Structure 1
Amino acid sequence: MMPDRSDLSAIAALLREVAGSIVMPRFGHIGPADLRTKSGPLDPVTVADEAAERALTEGLRALFPDVAVIGEESVAADPALLGAVAGPAPVFVIDPIDGTQNYAAGLPLFGLMIALVEGNQTIAGLIHDPLRDDTMLATRGAGAFLLRGAAARAEFLPLRVAAPAPLAQMIASVSWQYMAADEKSRVLARLDAIGQTPNLRCAAATYRAMASGHMHATVSRRTLPWDHAAGTLIVEEAGGHVRRPDGEAWRPADIDGGLIAAADRDTWHRLRDALYG
């Protein structure tokens, strides 16, 4: 299944509607009763995450009744659902609120993400920023765009990653929290070679920053598909280069091999060599 621009516009409209009706009204109003943890204290979920995933699931099923839908919260309840991303059939993968820690704390760095995966390859990806009220999106082989506005007034503005920069001037997000102890020690000891290493605690915001030319790279260890499928495709279609640290292509079923997304192939190699060489 290869969605066209009208399909992407419909999905973007769904993201915008759910953000406006469910996510933003609760922003800044999440209390202890609205929040629980899943695998640990760094893995929270709010009532807004759950409500948004239900609404997005229902909306996608109405738009595309023949395509399966899974999401971060549904997989938390039934981990076997994750196997769908490696299968041959198309499946939508939802992150109802990426950056839940930020969202729950009232920090304006979060987003809603949807990826379309088929045969363990991302076919389309969308990242919606509820505060800016715009959506970055891409389909494989067709470029990446910022969709601004609604319906007939919408504009598709091309996205482009940053120009290459020396390591000492590079801005790269490095998420080391899920690295094994030896890898973490090695990577942390080498971060001084990189100009700036912000961690936004939000893959949606990080990939948006990369695709719009404001960040040169991101390094992640845990690579769950709802966190990375949409963003990696958008970055690639905006001119970036995405691979696992071993140089192999990253695919949505690769949940624990790590990935490096960079503005171009040369930047990728320089960063990989600096951190892992």
Structure 2
Amino acid sequence: MNQTNPNQEPYIVSSKSFTAVAINCAAKAGEWIKSKLGSYEKLDIKVSTHDLVTEVDKGAEKLIRRLILTHFPDHAFLGEESTGIGAAAAASALHDVEESEYLWIVDPIDGTTNYVHGLPLYSVSIALAHKGEIIVGVIYDPSRDELYVAEKGKGAYVHGVPMKVSKEQKLEDSLIATGFPTEQTVLLPLNLAGIQAVAPRVRNIRTIGSAALSLAYVATGRLSGFWELNLNAWDLAAGMLLIQESGGRVTDTAGNPYHLGVRNVIATNGHIHDELHTVLEQANVTGMDL
């Protein structure tokens, strides 16, 4: 067993173990997803026309679940496609399992809309929480064959090379990403107002269409920061650990520390975090009062 702190309970993070299984699941699911690109048979709408699901999403989640439970049959599992539709359903599903000793948190295709349109910006996101704390995070980009891996206390890596967040010290020098919430009545206009507030203050803004990839890009220094409203545990868990282990910072949009229930997020290289938070707060677009 590996131990990052002698005062904490140890957890297994090597050989047969959690990280190896997460990597294997992400790689196999990613390979299968890529093989199905352009050949899905049915497209369903969940919350809105911005929120799509295909049988490939569902099949990939079943594949990942089966592989994980083969190794760890007593572990809990939280997957996007096996959870009901909407924020309330997601919160309820998380509540049912968040006290589990070990909880796998999976988004089989983060960026389904990109996938449906053939845009190569989608990913598989797998995280493992131990008593509510993320200890393993894996994001796999099948299009680029980029595998991002983090273990708590052991750093983060892509292609086996250690990742570090970017060095920008000021918002004005930063490339920032965001996304468009699927809820269109309140949250979409709020995020558009956030873009209006942030855009004049930064070098530029990108909307990648995959929260997991956006977080991975913050971790590897391609982006200086990212914020988005109304996300779920499966969107954030793996990427959050990647960023923390790469030297960055993740909070909710009120500046509070990350936990599994966070839905409105700011993730940065750390240097620009407070400045980005201040801009969003002053524009009253954090979404925390909804």
Global fold match (TM > 0.5): yes
Structure 1 residue 174 corresponds to structure 2 residue 161? no
- What is the CA distance between 1:161 and its match in structure 2? 0.7
Q: Which runs of 5+ in 1 are unaligned?
A: 149-155
Q: Report what 1:206 is aligned to.
A: 214
Counterpart residue number, 1:272:
277
1:215 matches 2:219 = no
CA contact (8 A) 1:164 1:216 kept: yes
Q: Partner residue of 2:193?
A: 185
Question: 2:29 touches 2:124 (CA, 8 Å); kept in 1?
Answer: no
**Match of 1:76, SS?**
coil
Distance in structure 1 (CA, Å) of the matches to 2:62 and 2:100: 24
User: 2:76 maps to what in 1?
Assistant: 68
CA deviations over 1:120-139 (Å, ceiling 9, x no partner): 32221110111222311112
Query: Partners of 2:103 and 2:154 in 1: how far apart?
Result: 20
Q: Measure the CA separation in 1 of the matches of 2:100 and 2:78.
A: 15
Contact 1:111 1:129 in 2 (8 A): yes
- Cα displacement (A) at 1:110: 0.4
In structure 2, the CA distance between the partners of 1:182 and 1:58, relative to structure 1 (3 Å rule), is closer
Same amino acid, percent of matched pairs: 26
After superposition, the Cα gap between the structure-2 partners of 1:36 and 1:188, relative to the gap in structure 1 and judged at 3 Å, is same
Aligned to 1:151: none
Separation in 2 of the partners of 1:105 and 1:187?
A: 24
* 1:75-125 superposed Cα distances (whole Å, 9 cap, x missing partner): 127754322453142110110000000001100000001111233322211
State the match for 1:240 in structure 2: 248
**Do the aligned partners of residues 207 and 186 (structure 1) sit closer, same or farther apart at CA in structure 2, a change above 3 Å counting?**
closer
Q: Secondary structure at the residue paired with 2:253?
A: coil
Out of 5, 19, 29, the residue aligned to residue 18 of structure 1 is 29
Cα offset for 1:187? Answer: 4.9
Kindly state the Cα deviation for residue 176 of structure 1 after the two structures are TM-superposed: 5.0
Deviation for aligned residue 1:9 = 2.3
Quote the RMSD (CA, aligned, Å).
2.0
Is 1:4 equivalent to 2:13 in the alignment?
yes
The 8 Å contact of residues 179 and 208 in structure 2, kept in 1 or not, is answered as: no
After TM superposition, the score normalised by the length of structure 2 is: 0.84
Q: Which has the higher helix share?
A: 1
**1:81 maps onto 2:87 in alignment:** no
- 8 Å CA contact 2:137, 2:239 repeated in 1: yes
One-letter code aligned to 1:173: A
Does the C-alpha gap of structure 1 residues 58 and 121 become closer, same or farther in structure 2, counting only changes over 3 Å?
A: same
Does 1:159 pair with 2:163? Answer: yes
Give the distance between the partners of 1:190 and 1:16, measured in 2 at CA: 36
Aligned mate of 1:260, from 260, 266, 290: 266
- CA 101–176 in structure 1, closer or farther in 2 if over 3 Å, else same: closer
Q: Could you list the runs of 5+ residues in structure 2 that have no partner in the other structure?
A: 1-9, 283-290
Are residues 69 and 159 of structure 1, via their aligned partners in 2, closer, same or farther at CA, if it must alter by over 3 Å? same
Q: What amino acid is the match of 1:56?
A: I
